[in-house]
Structure 1
Amino acid sequence: MRVILGPMEGVLDHLMREMLTEINDYDLCVTEFVRVVDQLLPNSVFYRLCPELYNNGKTASGTPVRVQLLGQDPNWLAENARRAIELGSSGIDINFGCPAKAVNKSRGGAVLLQDPQLMYDIVKSVREATDPRLPVTAKVRLGWDDPSHCFDIADAVAQAGGDEIVVHARTKVDGYKAETIKWEYIRQLKDKVRIPIIANGEVWNYQDGQRCLDTTQTDALMVCRGALNLPNLGNVVKHNATPMTWAEVLALLLRYSEYEIKGDKGLYYPNRVKQWFAYLRHEYPEAKALFADIRRLNRAKPIVEVLENAHRAIAA
Structure 2
Amino acid sequence: MAQQVFLTGATGFVGAAIARRLVADGARSLVCAVRNDSVQIAVQAQRVLCRDFAVSDGWQSALSGVDVVVHAAARVHVMNDTETDPLAAFRKVNVEGTLNLAREAVAAGVKRFVFISSIKVNGEGTAPGMPYRADDIAAPQDPYGISKHEAEQQLLQLAAEGAIEVVIVRPVLVYGPGVKANFLAMMRWLQRGVMLPFGAIDNRRSLVAVDNLVDLVVTCMSHPAAANQVFLVSDGEDLSTTQLLRRMAMALGRPARLLPVPAWMLRLAAASVGRKALSQRLCGSLAVDIEKTRTLLGWNPPVKVDAALSATARHYQDSLRK
- TM-score, length basis structure 2: 0.38
Which protein has the bigger helix share?
1
* Higher-RCO chain (CA-CA 8 Å, sequence separation at least 6): 2
- TM-score, length basis structure 1: 0.39
